[in-house]
Structure 1
Amino acid sequence: MAGIKMVHVPYKGSAPAQQDVIGGRVPLLFDVLFSSMPFVQDKRMKVIALSSPKRAVSNPDIPLIAESVPGFSAVSAIGIIAPAGLPPALLQKISADIGQVVRSAEVTARMGQLGMEPVGSTSEQYTAQIRQDIDKWAAIVKTAGIKLD
C-alpha cells in the first residue's frame, strides 16, 4: 500500500528472527506484540508501529502503520481449530467453554499484560473471520504478484 519493497527472510518462528534483529543481522521484523515485548521492555528492540487498525489498549502510545498508510491492517489471531467432522453439539460446548475462559477476569488481565486483546468469539464468528482473512490476503498476493517457490 505504501510502495515499500522489502526482502522476505523466512524464519521458523519469532525467536530466531528476534535474535537476528537484536544481533543486527536483519533490520526489522513483523511480529506479534506479546512475543517481542520482553525485548522491547529490556530495550533490546523498539516497536516502530503496530499493524492493527486500532492502538493497543495495553500500549496506547505505540503508533499505527495505518496512521501513515491509511487503511493498512494486518492482524494476527490465535484460535482453536477442530476437525471438520466434529459433532455440532461438541463444537458448541467447546466453543462456549473456551469463550467463557477467554472472557474471564484472570485470562483477560493476563492477556492484557501481554499486549493481547481477548475476543472469545463463537465458532461461526471465527470461521467467518478466517474466510475474510483468506479473501483479503489472496487479493494482496494476486495484486503484488507474489509467487511461492
Structure 2
Amino acid sequence: MSEITGQQFVVENRSGSGGNVGVDAIAKSPPDGYTIGLGSIASHAIAPTLYASLPFNPAQDFTFISGLWQLPNLLVVNNDLPARSVPELIALLKANPGKYAYGSSGIGTTPHLSGELLKQMVGTNILHVPYRGGAPALLDLLAGRVHLIMDNIPGLLPTAREGRIRALAVTGPQRSAAAPDLPTMSEFLPGFEITSWGAVCSPAGIPEPIVKRHSTFAKQALESPDLVRSFQELGAKSWWTTPAELVAFRASEEARLAPLIRASGARVE
C-alpha cells in the first residue's frame, strides 16, 4: 500500500494477550484514517467467546476495510503412529479413546480448536496438551510425547517434507497450493474447516470516502503478483473483500466458533 500510495507507512508492533493489546490500540486511535491495523480470527472471532471481558468490542469498535489472507492448518502425526491417512487416524482414535494426545500453540488458538473440532466430529477423547507456541509443540511431536498437531502450514510443512513427521491433510475448504497432494479434512469429515485469517481494520467512525479509498488500495496491493506469490509460498492465499463482506464474515465466524470454544471449556478470565 505504501508503494501504491507513495506514502510512508510506519509499522508499530504491539504484542500481548493474543493480539488483543494491538487491536485495542487500533480501536482507541482517532478515526481520522491515519491508523489502520491487523485484525484476525484470534482477536475478532475467537476472543469474544474465549475472554470473560475485553477492552474493545470486536463488532462495534472497528471500521472493517478488507480481508488480507487466509491460511489453513496442517494435520501432522508422529512417524511412529500407525496411521497413514485421515480414515486410519480416525479409526485409531475411536478405538483408543483417551490414549492419544494432540499438541497446540495454546488454549483458544486455531490449532487448539482444530483438535477440539476433531474430537467432536469423531466422537472420542483426545488429550489436549497446550504449549507456549508452535515450536515446542513440534519438538514434543518429534519426540513422541504428543501424537498429532494441527498448526499453520509454514511451521510444519518443512519438517514434513524432510520426512521427520507425516502430513495427512489440511483444514481449509480447498486443497492448499503449498501441498496440493494432501486432501482436506472435509473430504473425510464433511463440514470440518478451521482457517486462520487476517484483515485490515481501523477505528470505528472512519468517514466513508476514506474507507473506500483504503479498500481500493488494499485490493490493488492484494492483487500484486509478488504478494500473491509470497502468500502462496507460506501456504496462504491473498483475500480481498469489500468492507460489508468483511463485516458479515467476521460475525459469521464468531457465531460458528462460539459453540466449539464453549464445548472445549476454554476460558480466559
> Which TM class, normalised by the smaller chain length?
0.7 to 0.9
Once the two structures are overlaid, the 10-residue window that deviates more, 127-136 or 6-15, is: 6-15
Q: 1:89 aligns with which of 206, 209, 215?
A: 209
CA distance in 2, matches of 1:91, 1:15: 38
Q: 1:2 aligns with which of 109, 122, 129?
A: 122
Name the residue aligned to 1:148: 267
Q: CA RMSD in A?
A: 2.2
Report the number of matched residues: 148
Matched-pair contact (CA < 8 Å) for 1:103–1:119? no
CA distance in 2, matches of 1:16, 1:95: 38
Q: CA deviation at 1:147?
A: 4.7
Provide TM-score, normalisation by structure 2.
Answer: 0.49
Q: CA deviation at 1:65?
A: 1.4
CA deviation profile, 1:2-39 (whole Å, cap 9, x unmatched): 21322222233322322222233322211111332222
Name the residue aligned to 1:66: 186
CA deviation profile, 1:79-120 (whole Å, cap 9, x unmatched): 233223434333333332222212211111121222112112
Name the residue aligned to 1:122: 242
CA distance in 2, matches of 1:140, 1:23: 29
CA distance in 2, matches of 1:35, 1:95: 30
CA distance in 2, matches of 1:135, 1:43: 38
CA distance in 1, matches of 2:264, 2:157: 33
Amino acid at match of 2:180: P
Q: Which has the larger radius of gyration?
A: 2
Amino acid at match of 1:54: Q
**2:47 paired with 1:47:** no
Name the residue aligned to 1:29: 149
Mark the runs of 5 or more structure 2 residues left unpaired by the alignment.
1-120
CA distance in 1, matches of 2:123, 2:241: 34
CA distance in 2, matches of 1:16, 1:87: 45
Amino acid at match of 1:146: G
Q: CA deviation at 1:134?
A: 0.5
Mark the runs of 5 or more structure 1 residues left unpaired by the alignment.
none
CA deviation profile, 1:38-63 (whole Å, cap 9, x unmatched): 22222233222111122113322101
Once the two structures are overlaid, the 10-residue window that deviates more, 66-75 or 35-44, is: 35-44
Matched-pair contact (CA < 8 Å) for 1:100–1:120? no
- Identity of counterpart residues, as a percentage? 28
Once the two structures are overlaid, the 10-residue window that deviates more, 21-30 or 68-77, is: 21-30
CA distance 1:90–1:4, change in 2 (3 Å) = farther
Once the two structures are overlaid, the 10-residue window that deviates more, 17-26 or 30-39, is: 17-26
CA distance in 2, matches of 1:25, 1:99: 44
